[in-house]
Structure 1
Amino acid sequence: MLTIIIEHLSAAKVSSIFILLVIYGLLVLARSANMLINSLNIS
């Protein structure tokens, strides 16, 4: 019983970390796209 709970917790932790990584990647992509658009506007 305890091992099932631990496995469930670790799976939830892994999925939450994966979601955080995806959100972080999207933020970095949006920031780099903003910098590209700004440099194009300047030139």
Structure 2
Amino acid sequence: MTQFPKRLGLPEEYASLVKHIVENPFLNGETIRLDGGIRMQPK
């Protein structure tokens, strides 16, 4: 069972991941969810 995080991400943490995605030339065509592990049901 996957545990939910105790908190949502800080803006600096999201920015760090975005920076890594933009600067990494070997990462392409990948979907990376920036949702802190929260999975919402579709409407």
TM value normalised by structure 2: 0.36
Q: Which has the larger radius of gyration?
A: 1
TM value normalised by structure 1: 0.36
Choose between structure 1 and 2: higher helix proportion.
1
Structure ranking higher on relative contact order (CA contacts 8 Å, 6+ apart): 2
